[in-house]
Structure 1
Amino acid sequence: MSVLPLVFTSGWASGINAYAVVLLLGLFGATGLTDEVPGSLQRTDVLVVAGVLFLCEAVADKIPYVDSAWDTAHTVIRPVAGAVVAVLLAGGSGSLPELAAGAVGGSTALMSHLVKAGTRMAVNTSPEPFSNVGVSVLEDLGVAGIITFAVFHPVAAAVVAGVLLLLGLLVLVFLASRIRRFLRRRARRREERRPAGAGGPWPHG
């Protein structure tokens, strides 16, 4: 069976939370729920490191502005992780060239990362912190659900991941224009509240 659907889905999920992907795939492989996961992802040291980093991300991802700083630091890490996981999956199956798998996993992870980072920037324009927590929890549940689904139904999961990626890109475009309009309105209101003649030339005596 081709491993391409699992490569695509894991790439999408890696762009959102790469550590969760490594941890979940490793645990599924170690417990014998799937034969698609290579042994390198099932090693105890890999699972421990992935678990610790996942906990760090779970905390940082729910704090306003800290989440965006974390996303910026992971602009390279997540696509690279998506590519590495894809190469490992392809190497274990032999049904997909490793170079092609790395390209699919890495590019998909990059696109989903951009969606996540852009969405968080928009969410941070909200004055309250609860929206960050809600979005973060939804992302964590989404990654866990889609990876679990992919282990048992890889093709269907890949279709879902593709739809989510497309919707995310559309939402990102909508949010970008919305943020620009918000900033323009705020600047216009600031100008309207400015007293008449403020900032103008000094009157002549």
Structure 2
Amino acid sequence: MNLDTTQLVALAAALGWASGLRLYAVLFITGAVGFLGWVELPSGLQILQQPLVLGASGLMSAVEFLADKIPAVDTVWDGVQTLLRIPAGAALAAAALGADSATWTLLAALLGGGLAASAHAAKASLRAAANTSPEPFSNVALSLAGDAMVPALLWLAWEHPVAAIVAVALATVVCIVVVVVLWRFLKGLLARWRPRPS
């Protein structure tokens, strides 16, 4: 299956946004579908289907899957991954869309990095908030939801690109709202703990 322009735009957006949630799953799933011949990946993404890259991304995807289920470990993991997810989202989107033009490469990178940043900020904020709860179930439920979103969004990008673009746009709005609401909540908590002048 060759990707048309709408699918390439949808794929760039999906890769960018999903990288903010599960970078290694994005790398592994994208590489696997290319390796299996289900989709002909754009030339910039074909390196992901190389066996060594597939093995490394599969291993890191498994590590991320486990780390993301453990309260506090997931927050540390998200902190470290801040350095990787956003630039990787930019690079993947650029690789998906920008093979023919420097302008498209730059626009795709900006789009992918911005989408990855919004997803990552919302995920890290939500997970940090969930870690304040003594029960582990909300943390695991949020993690499993993230696990499910990545393959679902990538599938949409390949099979129903317009729906994927709409889904990414809606998800980005939700992410921004989540970050704003949680930031206000955090500011309120800090204001209560701040010593008052006597």
2:114 paired with 1:107:
yes
- Aligned CA-pair RMSD: 2.2
Rounded to whole Å, the distance in 1 between the matches of 2:93 and 2:53 is 16
TM-score (norm 2): 0.85
Report the residue type matching 1:140 in the other structure: D
2:3 paired with 1:26:
no
1:112 is displaced (CA, Å) by 1.0
Rounded to whole Å, the distance in 1 between the matches of 2:134 and 2:183 is 18
Tell me the equivalent position of 2:171: 164
1:118-137: CA deviations, max 9, x gaps? 11111111111221111000
Query: Structure 1 residues 116 and 77, CA, compared in 2 at 3 Å: closer, same or farther?
Result: same
- The answer to whether the 8 A contact 1:122-1:179 is kept is no
Higher-helix-fraction structure: 2
2:133 paired with 1:123:
no
Rounded to whole Å, the distance in 2 between the matches of 1:64 and 1:28 is 32
Rounded to whole Å, the distance in 1 between the matches of 2:89 and 2:133 is 30
| Structure of greater Rg | 1
Rounded to whole Å, the distance in 1 between the matches of 2:120 and 2:165 is 17
Q: 1:142 aligns with which of 143, 149, 159?
A: 149
Tell me the equivalent position of 2:182: 175
Tell me the equivalent position of 2:85: 78
1:154 is displaced (CA, Å) by 1.9
2:48 paired with 1:41:
yes
- The answer to whether the 8 A contact 1:30-1:42 is kept is yes
Rounded to whole Å, the distance in 2 between the matches of 1:42 and 1:24 is 9
1:97 is displaced (CA, Å) by 2.1
- The answer to whether the 8 A contact 2:98-2:108 is kept is no
1:86 is displaced (CA, Å) by 1.6
1:171 is displaced (CA, Å) by 2.1
- The answer to whether the 8 A contact 1:6-1:155 is kept is no
Report the residue type matching 1:104 in the other structure: L
Rounded to whole Å, the distance in 2 between the matches of 1:155 and 1:34 is 18
Tell me the equivalent position of 2:74: 67
Unaligned runs of 5+ in 1: 189-205
- The answer to whether the 8 A contact 2:89-2:116 is kept is yes
Report the residue type matching 1:5 in the other structure: A
1:38-91: CA deviations, max 9, x gaps? 321111111111111011111111111111111110112001211221222124
Unaligned runs of 5+ in 2: none
Q: Higher mean Cα deviation, 155-164 or 172-181?
A: 172-181
Report the residue type matching 1:23 in the other structure: F
1:10-37: CA deviations, max 9, x gaps? 1000000111111111111122222234
Tell me the equivalent position of 2:14: 9
- Size of the aligned set, in residue pairs, is 187
Tell me the equivalent position of 1:199: none
Q: Secondary structure in 2 aligned to 1:15?
A: helix
